[in-house]
Amino acid sequence: MTQTHEAENFAPIVDINARILILGSIPGIASLEAQHYYAHPRNGFWPIVGSLLKITWPENFDARYALLKQHHIALWDVMKSCRRTGSLDQNIEEASIIANDFDTFLTQHMHITDIFFNGQKAAQSFKKYALPNLSEQVIKRVQFHTLPSSSPAMASLNISAKTEKWRIIQDILKP
| Catalytically annotated residues | 43
Q: In this structure, what are the phi and psi dihedrals at residue 21, rounded to the nearest 5 degrees?
A: -125, 125
Beta carbons within 8 Å of 168's beta carbon, 6+ residues apart: 116, 145, 147
Distance of alpha carbon 32 from alpha carbon 96, whole angstroms:
18
> CA-to-CA distance for 52 and 163, rounded, in angstroms?
8
Q: How far apart are CA 68 and CA 62, in angstroms?
A: 10
- 71 contacts: CB under 8 Å, gap ≥ 6: 53, 173
